[in-house]
């Protein structure tokens, strides 16, 4: 009856795997359902574009969406080139066991685990006070960039390391300079990983509350420049839910917007990565 036992074992395994998948999906759907249940009635085009009124109990989230995009924009514009540069340095210019590379990698791993509130305090001390940027979108974006960089660098580095050495060897055999090898051969191959890293970073940045309270501030007005204070979506949710009595419906509606944005960004990124790998095309330079 050997086969019989095996079948039972298989069934138990399959059941376990399916139930964990089910549990995860159920949890996600519950959260989503709960958000929709409480916030759906508040959602409208008007909600997306109008200013908050009565401390956010009424009105919409127009200026908050704008502030959020500006903060994220600053964060990514700063983090992308620095992150890519550092990742290329770590993957292509330092030997595996080189002390300097190990030091940087170790520091990044520690930084990736630092609580965001610590980044908030750091950002406040450096950008808001020492550099005199005050509570501003710029301070918030720069702080988020510091927070996102470790994740971005490590995932990008890994995607460079995942490229087989054949590619490097044949590029070298064709007499390609190091920069051509990196830009024309390795970067396109690492692009899906790079996108994945950016999405991880972007997701973390969009969901960030603690680091922004001390740096970009609370002001819910439409920002006029990067030096104005601006309220991010997550802070708006926090504020409505914790500090404003009767703010819950709008907090839920804002959360729906935030979660939808995250889902959309994820879908777009995986679509781009998919296109990239299936088309196998070098961008026209």
Tokens matching residue 64:
């908050």
**Residue 167 binds other proteins, judged by CB under 8 A:** yes
Helix (H, G, I), strand (E, B) or coil at 59: strand
Please state the closest distance from residue 276 (CB atom) to other proteins, in A. Answer: 10
Nearer to other proteins (CB atom), residue 134 or residue 188: 188
Residue 162 in the binding site for other proteins (CB under 8 A): no
User: Which residue in 112, 121, 184, 265 binds other proteins (CB under 8 A)?
Assistant: 184
Q: Which residues pair with 59 in a beta bridge?
A: 52
Segment interacting with other proteins, rule: CB under 8 A, options 50-58, 82-90, 163-171, 227-235: 163-171
- CB closer to other proteins out of 169 and 264: 169
In which residue are the tokens 């958000």 written?
35
**Binding marks (x or -) toward other proteins, 90..109, rule CB under 8 A?**
-----x--------------
> Which residue(s) pair with 52 in the sheet?
59
Asked whether position 44 contacts other proteins by CB under 8 A, the answer is no
The contact pattern for other proteins, residues 114-153, with x = CB under 8 A and - = no contact, is: ----------------------------------------
Tell me the DSSP string of 66-114.
HHHHHHHHHHHHHHHHHHHHHHHIIIIIS-TT-HHHHHHHHHHHHHHTS
Per CB under 8 A, which region of 22-30, 171-179, 234-242, 260-268 contacts other proteins? 171-179
Q: Per CB under 8 A, which region of 150-158, 180-188, 231-239, 263-271 contacts other proteins? A: 180-188
Taking a C-beta distance cutoff of 8 angstroms, is the pair 16, 229 a contact? no
Paired tokens of 52: 């908050």
275 binds other proteins (CB under 8 A): no
What 171-180 contacts at long range (C-beta under 8 Å, 24+ apart), as own/partner pairs, is: 178/92
Among 8, 20, 107, 180, binds other proteins (CB under 8 A): 180
- Which residues have a Cβ under 8 Å from the Cβ of 54 and sit 6 or more positions away? none
Should residue 185 be labelled a site residue for other proteins when binding is judged by CB under 8 A? yes
Q: How far is the CB of 268 from other proteins (least distance, A)?
A: 22
Task: Please give the Cα distance from 67 to 231 (Å, whole number).
Answer: 6
Q: How far is the CB of 177 from other proteins (least distance, A)?
A: 6
By CB under 8 A, the count of residues binding other proteins is: 21
The smaller minimum CB distance to other proteins, of residues 4 and 281, is found at 281
* Chain Cα centroid distance, residue 50: 26
Structure tokens at 120: 């908030």
Rounded distance between C-alpha atoms, residue 215 and residue 81, angstroms: 22
Residue 184 near residue 285 (C-beta atoms within 8 A)? yes
Q: Give the shortest CB-192-to-other proteins separation in angstroms.
A: 11
Interface ranges with other proteins (CB under 8 A): 95, 166-177, 180, 184-185, 188-189, 280-282
């Amino acid at each position: 009856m050997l086969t019989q036992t095996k079948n039972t074992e298989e069934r138990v395994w399959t059941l376990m795997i399916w139930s964990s998948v089910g549990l995860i999906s159920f949890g996600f759907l519950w959260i989503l359902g709960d958000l929709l249940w409480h916030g759906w009635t508040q959602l409208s085009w008007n909600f997306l574009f109008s200013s908050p009124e009565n401390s956010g109990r009424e009105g919409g989230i127009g200026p908050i969406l704008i502030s959020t995009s500006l903060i994220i924009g600053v964060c990514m514009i700063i983090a992308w080139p620095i992150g890519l540069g550092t990742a290329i340095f770590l993957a292509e210019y330092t030997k595996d066991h080189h002390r300097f590379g190990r030091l940087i990698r170790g520091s990044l791993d520690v930084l990736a685990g630092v609580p965001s509130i610590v980044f908030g305090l750091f950002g406040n001390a450096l950008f808001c006070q020492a550099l005199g940027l005050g509570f501003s979108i710029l301070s918030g974006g720069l702080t988020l960039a510091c927070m996102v960089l470790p994740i971005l660098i490590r995932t990008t580095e890994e995607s460079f390391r995942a490229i087989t050495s054949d590619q490097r060897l044949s590029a070298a055999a064709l007499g390609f300079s190091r920069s051509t090898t990196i830009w024309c051969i390795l970067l396109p191959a690492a692009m899906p990983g790079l996108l994945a890293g950016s999405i991880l970073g972007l997701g973390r940045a969009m969901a960030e509350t603690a680091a922004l309270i001390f740096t970009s501030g609370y002001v819910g007005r439409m920002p006029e420049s990067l030096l104005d204070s601006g309220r991010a979506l997550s802070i708006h949710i926090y504020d409505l839910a914790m500090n404003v009595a009767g703010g819950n419906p709008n907090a839920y509606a804002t959360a729906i917007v935030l979660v939808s944005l995250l889902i959309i960004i994820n879908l777009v990124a995986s679509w781009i990565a998919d296109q990239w790998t299936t088309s196998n095309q070098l961008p026209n330079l």
